[in-house]
Amino acid sequence: MRSNTNTVIKVCVIVYFFMLILTLGHVYFCTDMQEFLRADKDAAARDYTEGWTLDSGVVVRIDEISAGSLGGSYVATKTLPDSMAETDSVYFSTSNLNFTVYVNDEEIYSFCTKENLTGTGDGISYHMIGLGTKDEGALFRLEAETAFSDGTSGRVNEMKFGPEELYRHALMRRNVTGMNLSVLMVIFGVVIIAFFFGMAHRNPIMRSLWALGLSAVLFGLWSLCDTGLPQLLTGSTYASREIVYVILHLAGFPMIYFVNSKTKQKKRVYPYASFAITVFCLGWLILARLAYGIDMHTMVEVIYLSYVAQLVCLLVMLMDNELYCRRRSISSYMKYFYIGASVFVATSFIDMGRYLAVKRGSIWHGSWFRFGLVIFFLFMGFQIFEWWSREKSSLERDRFVNHLLQYIMGELDPDDKINKVLEYLCTELRADRAYIFEDMGDGTFDNTYEFCAPGVTPEIDNLKGVKYVGVIDSWYEEYKRGGHVLIYDLEKYREVNESMYEVLKPQGINTLVTGPLILNGAYIGFFGVDNPPVEMMEEISEIIRLLMFFLSELVGGRDNQRRLVDYSYHDALTDVGNRRALREFERDSLDTARPYGVVMCDVNGLKAVNDNEGHEAGDEMIKNVASALSDVFGRDNVYRVGGDEFAAYSFDEYRQTFESKIDMVKSTVAEKGIHVAMGGSFAQYGDKDYNSRKIEADKRMYDEKREFYRDNNDRRGRGPLPEMTNE
């Protein structure tokens, strides 16, 4: 039973961490997440907080005032834009604010908070005021008052003007990191709890895992509601507010219970004290609210007493345990926990200080606390692995994999991750080389990655074009049978595979362990280590088996990232740069201090070819023009910026050279029966204003195009073309 349980534990933990890292890596590298995070769509949902006029005549930002600071209520007005679309609306979120909205003295929207467990506050509520062209230039009036009877608080957090989807995008973009971190905590907690209850036999290390999982779920739910997104997505304003006020008090006790169970002392006083703090503070809040009608927002001191007391309890417990261990000269084996706890405590105090100092409402705080929680639970994961590996030697391979993940965790680039994996394998397994061979798709394999121990000669440049037939194919047959290949003695292996022996012998290989790379059910290559110690061969073979999936996915992720980058910067038809690539080149790489020329090129007669010969013929024209431009100006300097329009840069010393290149392109495409209109602008001494150069080149191109259509048929071949414009 114990053996089966250990196997289940190893598989569950490894698969979880692999899936977690691969999923997060895929989301960031292989989707449009980077573009989403960089996109400047907040500007599209225009900021509408400035220029509000109070009754006193003072002009303010609406998000920098509160009803409490203005005597409990205020009236603010602002004139709507003179030009509006039917989809335009005013979107904003409020905290603890009752208000009515008027447009030209007509009431169009009203909101009043409801009584709930926490009081009359609502935390964060989102509102949309639908407008239209009929409201152009109208007076928008907001009459607001605090939701609290003591006349404090009550504010607008932010206000936007524009289409609804852009506002939602702005909110999601602002909160996506906090939301993901919160969800990550919840997932971590759920997995830990499921892991705990799924165990048939619970050893001492696993006995209190339920507390860690419960604490992670509670912290995750609190921080998720504190982002404001559940309110936005579900409308559960009051449920979210009650979770924010109540649930954090409940999360401290299971955390301290879990940590105490892992200390060397295991003093019961600390979980008892934590439980007493929870009961006292939460009971005080609920009793005051239900029995005396006191609003919880007036009891901030009690709320923070609970938080601070739990943190202090945790710190005292850890320091007491460390002193205990030092007195007895034993190790606490809590290094990772200390790191995570230190980050968590520090970020918690930072956030509490920011909230008390700024008083901007929950929408503006929690980021540091949330980050600290994730770091804490991340390091708690590391700590659990260390405890487990020390108590259960049979899980040594899990410890190996976990440390490997830590080793590469800071790397974002897939190539760097793969190289770090090989470096770790070679170093930790005391091998001479660790490497990857990949299928080139032509019946050969190339050594694409390699790490060598000090003093070992690299072989990566010599191992290109290794044939599959007669060499690698025998390994593939062994992979299919046993999952890996072990060579204990190369001389004995000669009888098994003479061809492979001839490849391995010149490299000084005596022992070897290798396994396949499999992606989507297909073999894409193999990886392995050379000359590991014979006594470690069996253990290494199991490690290789465990890493097959991980390394395969890293290679697959690398390929996906390369394709994604290539697609996002290159035109699919012509394989030259696209408009996005041109913008980034001009912004980041264009050296305007030296001579350069810019060319604008347009294909003449493309419409007629598409109509008369079909779009495939038109595509062929475009590809021929792109090819000619690439041959003359260089593929990296050519960009397709429209259907039949190209731009190119040339870096020549003299204007004559630049103009001769333009003539060369025209001549090349003319030989294929294609006519192009080209305009160039050359900056002999450089010019920072490259846009002016492009405009000049574009004008010359259109002048040439106008001449072509004046002397020839129009795009449909129906006679002379009327005078053209640049529009």
User: C-alpha dihedral over 419, 424, 430, 434, to 10 degrees?
Assistant: -20
Q: How confident is the model at residue 502 (pLDDT cuts 50, 70, 90)?
A: confident
CATH-assigned architecture of domain 579-711: 2-Layer Sandwich (3.30)
Q: How far apart are CA 612 and CA 292, in angstroms?
A: 85
Report the alpha-carbon distance of residue 398 to residue 16 in Å, rounded.
Answer: 12
Confidence class for position 721, pLDDT limits 50, 70, 90: very low
Higher-pLDDT residue of 338, 668: 668
358-362, 374-378, 476-480, 533-537: segment of lowest average pLDDT: 358-362
Q: Which CATH architecture has domain 413-563?
A: 2-Layer Sandwich (3.30)
Q: Two tokens at 568?
A: 């996002």
- Looking at residues 526-554, what average pLDDT do you find? 81
Q: Which tokens go with 651?
A: 């870096």
pLDDT number for residue 209 = 82
Of residues 403 and 421, more confidently modeled: 421
Query: Of 260 and 538, which is predicted with more confidence?
Result: 260
Q: State the angle between helix axes of 237-262 and 335-358 in degrees (0 to 180), rounded to the nearest 10.
A: 150
> For all residues of the chain together, what is the average pLDDT?
82
User: Which pLDDT score, from 0 to 100, does residue 38 have?
Assistant: 53
Task: Name the pTM for this structure.
Answer: 0.47
The CATH number corresponding to 46-162 among 2.60.120.260, 3.40.50.11540, 3.30.70.20, 2.60.40.420 equals 2.60.120.260
pLDDT tens profile 16-68: 566 666 666 655 566 555 554 555 544 445 788 999 999 889 999 998 899 99
**Residue 678 clears pLDDT 90, i.e. is over it:** yes
* Cα atoms in the 13 Å half-sphere on the side-chain side of 433: 22
Which of 285-294, 472-481, 694-703 has the weakest average pLDDT?
472-481
* pLDDT classification of 474: cutoffs 50, 70, 90: confident
| pLDDT for the residue numbered 73 | 94
pLDDT band per the 50, 70, 90 thresholds, residue 72: very high
* 180 pLDDT higher than 70: yes
Task: State the CATH class of domain 2-12+173-401.
Answer: mainly alpha
Only one residue has tokens 């100092």, namely 357
Number of H helices, E strands in the chain: 21, 20
496 SS3 class? coil
Residue 394 has pLDDT above 60, yes or no: no
Looking at residues 512-518, what average pLDDT do you find? Answer: 87
| pLDDT higher than threshold 50 for residue 576 | yes
Residues 588-626: pLDDT tens digits?
Answer: 888 999 999 999 999 998 888 888 888 899 999 999 999
Phi, psi of 522 (to 5 degrees): -115, 145
Percentage of the chain with pLDDT > 70?
86
**Whole-number Å distance between alpha carbons of 361 and 660:** 65
- Provide the pLDDT confidence category of residue 308 given band limits of 50, 70 and 90: confident
For residue 320, give every residue at least 6 positions away whose Cβ sits within 8 Å of its Cβ, in sequence order, or none.
265, 267
What pLDDT is attached to residue 655? 92
pLDDT at residue 242 tops 90: no
Among candidate residues 355, 373, 246, 232, the one with its CA nearest the CA of residue 314 = 373
Pick 642 or 19 by higher pLDDT.
642
Half-sphere exposure for 620 (CA within 13 Å, toward CB)? 10
d(CA 277, CA 597) in angstroms, rounded, equals 73
What pLDDT score does 716 carry? 44
pLDDT of residue 720: 42
Angle at 358 between CA 355 and CA 363, to 5 degrees: 60
Map out the domains of the chain as residue ranges: 2-12+173-401, 46-162, 413-563, 579-711
pLDDT digits (tens, 9 = 90+) for 552-574: 888 888 888 777 777 778 888 88
**Residue of higher predicted confidence among 725 and 349:** 349
What is the per-residue pLDDT for 719?
A: 40
